[in-house]
């Protein structure tokens, strides 16, 4: 397979890059000075693209690669891949579901605890020496808080199970009611927001879910409500989120994703009721290695004419 051209869309995980280089003729798009010229020169050599949550395969890239056969995403999300164009051209698409579910769900719970119990602020309080001048302020209990989950897929269910361990009543909204779940279903995001203390965004990013968390939803959640976003940044109307937090119309937020990564609204930096993470939901050695192995496994299966491990298209 050493002669098969694989295009890596952006820097990802060193192990993945090294393993791809061992097996394929690896091209690194981010190191190219002239993208258009590079694609023109190598378009007939590249048969696979490896992308992630930051960079994938849009229509322009797909059209520039006439020999492209498969896009293997180092991510569970597919919003950076033009799935319609892939279907049109018969290009296979894979992602990395399941292996990152636990880490992302763990992080969602960690964000809930960090926001309500002000863990980051407490840490700074100790480090700055303020504890010597007096005790830290009281915070808010997490156990027993009602948790509403937007998107009850693999990750949503994993979050729900963890929340139950904290005696949290769980409800959800998704496109359709899930017949095999015990959690309460609400037929709209607004109804979900009206009936929970913590709203967790865990759905896929589509045109329908872009800015699904808007001003009306935020105001319905209210000044004691908390938003946790471990989905995608564009799920939330970010300017509306910022203004609600600054004005006190929303109680707090725990964010791992943002609308224009890696840029984060600076207004959030001074807010102690907000916990900000740099999109690290799946960011453990164990999970990223498993994800990389899945990407490589899908590529090898495709080029050996075997069934794909995690086919999407």
CA 184 from centroid of its chain's CA atoms = 24
Instruction: Provide the β-strand partners of residue 57.
Output: 81
| φ, ψ (nearest 5 deg) of residue 274 | -125, 130
Distance CA 276, CA 292 (A): 26
- Token output for 16: 């993945």
Distance CA 158, CA 152 (A): 9
- Strands (E) across 58-178 are located at 70-73, 92-94, 147-150, 170-173
| φ, ψ (nearest 5 deg) of residue 202 | -140, 25
What are the angstrom distances between the C-alpha of 232 and each of 6, 54, 181?
27, 11, 24
Q: DSSP class of residue 311?
A: B
For 260, residues 6+ apart whose C-beta sits below 8 A from its C-beta are 233, 238
Beta sheet of 25-28, edge-to-edge order? 25-28, 5-8, 46-51, 70-73, 92-94
Distance CA 83, CA 102 (A): 26
Is residue 257 within 8 A of residue 231, CB to CB? The reply is: yes
Helix axes 154-164, 101-116, angle to 10 degrees: 50
> Which residues are part of the catalytic machinery?
232, 261, 279
Instruction: Provide the β-strand partners of residue 172.
Output: 149, 185
């Amino acid at each position: 397979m050493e002669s098969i051209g694989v295009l890596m869309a952006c820097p990802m995980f060193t192990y993945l890059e090294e393993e791809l280089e061992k097996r394929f003729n690896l091209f690194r798009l981010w190191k190219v000075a002239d993208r258009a010229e590079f694609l023109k020169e190598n378009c007939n050599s590249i048969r696979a693209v490896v992308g992630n949550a930051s960079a994938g395969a849009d229509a322009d890239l797909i059209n520039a690669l006439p020999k492209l056969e498969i896009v293997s995403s180092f991510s569970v999300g597919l919003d950076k891949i033009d799935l319609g164009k892939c279907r049109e051209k018969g290009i296979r698409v894979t992602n990395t579901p399941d292996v990152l579910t636990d880490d992302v769900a763990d992080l969602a719970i960690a964000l809930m605890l960090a926001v309500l119990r002000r863990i980051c602020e407490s840490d700074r309080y100790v480090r700055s020496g303020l504890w010597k001048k007096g005790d830290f302020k009281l915070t808010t209990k997490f156990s027993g808080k009602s948790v509403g989950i937007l998107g009850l897929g693999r990750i949503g269910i994993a979050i729900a199970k963890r929340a139950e361990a904290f005696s949290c009543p769980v409800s959800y909204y998704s496109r359709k009611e899930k017949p095999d779940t015990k959690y309460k279903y609400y037929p709209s995001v607004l109804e979900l927001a009206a009936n929970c203390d913590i709203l967790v965004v865990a759905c896929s990013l589509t045109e329908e879910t872009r800015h699904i968390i808007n001003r009306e939803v935020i105001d319905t959640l209210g000044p004691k409500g908390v938003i946790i976003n471990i989905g995608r940044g564009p799920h939330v109307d970010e300017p509306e989120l910022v203004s609600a937090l600054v004005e006190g119309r929303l109680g707090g937020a725990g964010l791992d994703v943002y609308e224009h990564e890696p840029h984060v609204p600076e207004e959030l930096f001074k807010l102690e009721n907000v916990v900000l993470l740099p999109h690290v939901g799946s960011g453990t050695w164990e999970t990223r290695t498993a994800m990389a192995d899945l990407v490589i496994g899908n590529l090898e299966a495709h080029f050996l004419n075997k069934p794909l491990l995690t086919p999407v298209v």
